[in-house]
């Protein structure tokens, strides 16, 4: 079976992108990262992608002012040029319009640094600490028009330590992000995901128990 062609969309350092690139170096992985697109010319992840021999493109949103549709048309042109099958958002800090999202329905994923549906939006680690939750984590989900929603594909939890600082918690969550994103992309690329009534079902052999990713405190 031919490997799915994946574009990773970033805006910053791209550590999740790097985790996907690493996973896809294995020739038996069912997807290959053929393109990294950034909306910011200075995104650090672009250098990492190039160092790994991956094509990069910049589609700078500031060139389109407030015209989101024109920005997305430009994105779409690039995605088509590279014959992309699957789009992975990885720290991509632009909201996408419902039209664009629909065009990629069930072929576009996002990673969010919280256990959705808790803590949608920004500053998830600070808000989790303020709320005093004992368990926090990360979610990979299909993208739908509503922000940080959409069927959950994979989640991993970390226990919140007493008196933990935001940076430390963020780093521990990032660690599990790097494990579940490659897992979720693999499941999608293998054609094992199905969405029914807004929930994502996984076919075939059991997937690794992501609870086992919880680092021992
Ligand atoms: C990650 O925490 C991801 O969950 C969120 O943005 C951050 C991006 O980090 N969507 P990186 O660019 O992948 O290092």
pLDDT, averaged across the chain: 94
Percentage of residues in the chain having pLDDT higher than 90? 93
Whether the per-residue pLDDT at 211 is higher than 60: the answer is no
Nearest CA to ligand 1 atom 7: 91
Cα distance between residue 50 and residue 134, in whole Å: 39
Apex CA 109: angle with CA 106 and CA 113, to 5°? 145
What pLDDT is attached to residue 203? 86
101 contact partners, CB below 8 Å, separation of at least 6: 108, 143, 144, 145
Q: Which atom of ligand 1 is nearest to the CA of 170?
A: 2
Cα distance between residue 159 and residue 50, in whole Å: 35
Torsion of CA 12, 4, 51, 27, to 10 degrees: 130
What pLDDT is attached to residue 217? 44
Q: Provide the pLDDT confidence category of residue 208 given band limits of 50, 70 and 90.
A: low
Distances (CA, A) of 213 to 91, 92, 114, 170, 185: 21, 25, 15, 15, 17
**Main-chain phi, psi angles of 107, to 5 degrees:** -130, 15
Q: Provide the pLDDT confidence category of residue 1 given band limits of 50, 70 and 90.
A: confident
- 127 CB near ligand 1 (under 6 Å): no
150 contact partners, CB below 8 Å, separation of at least 6: 110, 141, 142, 143, 144
Whether the per-residue pLDDT at 166 is higher than 90: the answer is yes
Q: Provide the pLDDT confidence category of residue 183 given band limits of 50, 70 and 90.
A: very high
Please name which of 123, 120, 214 lies closest in space to residue 161, comparing C-alpha atoms. Answer: 214
Average pLDDT over residues 188-205: 91
pLDDT, one tens digit per residue, over 67-111 is 999 999 999 999 999 999 999 999 999 999 999 999 999 999 999
What pLDDT is attached to residue 204? 73
Percentage of residues in the chain having pLDDT higher than 70? 94
- 177 CB near ligand 1 (under 6 Å): yes
What pLDDT is attached to residue 143? 98
Nearest CA to ligand 1 atom 5: 91
Q: Provide the pLDDT confidence category of residue 178 given band limits of 50, 70 and 90.
A: very high
What pLDDT is attached to residue 212? 52
- 145 CB near ligand 1 (under 6 Å): no
Active site residues: 112
- 54 CB near ligand 1 (under 6 Å): no
- 112 CB near ligand 1 (under 6 Å): yes
Distance (Å) from CA 1 to ligand 1 centroid: 30
Nearest CA to ligand 1 atom 14: 15
Average pLDDT over residues 154-162: 94
Whether the per-residue pLDDT at 181 is higher than 60: the answer is yes
Please name which of 168, 169, 173 lies closest in space to residue 116, comparing C-alpha atoms. Answer: 173
Average pLDDT over residues 22-34: 98
3-state SS, residue 137: strand
């Amino acid at each position: 079976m031919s490997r799915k062609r994946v574009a990773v969309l970033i805006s910053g350092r791209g550590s999740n992108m790097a985790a996907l690139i690493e996973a896809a170096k294995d020739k038996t992985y069912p997807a290959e990262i053929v393109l990294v697109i950034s909306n910011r010319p200075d995104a650090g992840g672009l250098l990492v992608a190039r160092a790994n021999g991956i094509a990069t493109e910049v589609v700078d949103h500031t060139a389109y002012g407030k015209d989101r549709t024109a920005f997305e048309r430009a994105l779409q042109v690039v995605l088509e040029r590279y014959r992309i099958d699957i789009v992975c958002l990885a720290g991509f800090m632009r909201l996408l319009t419902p039209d664009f999202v629909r065009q990629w329905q069930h072929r576009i994923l996002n990673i969010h640094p919280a256990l959705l549906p808790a803590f949608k939006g920004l500053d998830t680690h600070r808000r989790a600490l303020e709320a005093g939750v004992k368990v926090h984590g990360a979610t990979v989900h299909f993208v739908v028009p509503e922000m940080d929603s959409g069927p959950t594909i994979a989640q991993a939890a970390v226990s919140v330590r007493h008196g933990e600082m935001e940076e430390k918690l963020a780093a521990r969550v990032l660690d599990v992000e790097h494990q579940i994103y490659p897992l979720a992309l693999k499941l999608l690329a293998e054609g094992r995901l199905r969405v029914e009534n807004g929930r994502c079902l996984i076919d075939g052999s059991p997937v690794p128990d992501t609870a086992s990713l919880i680092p021992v405190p």
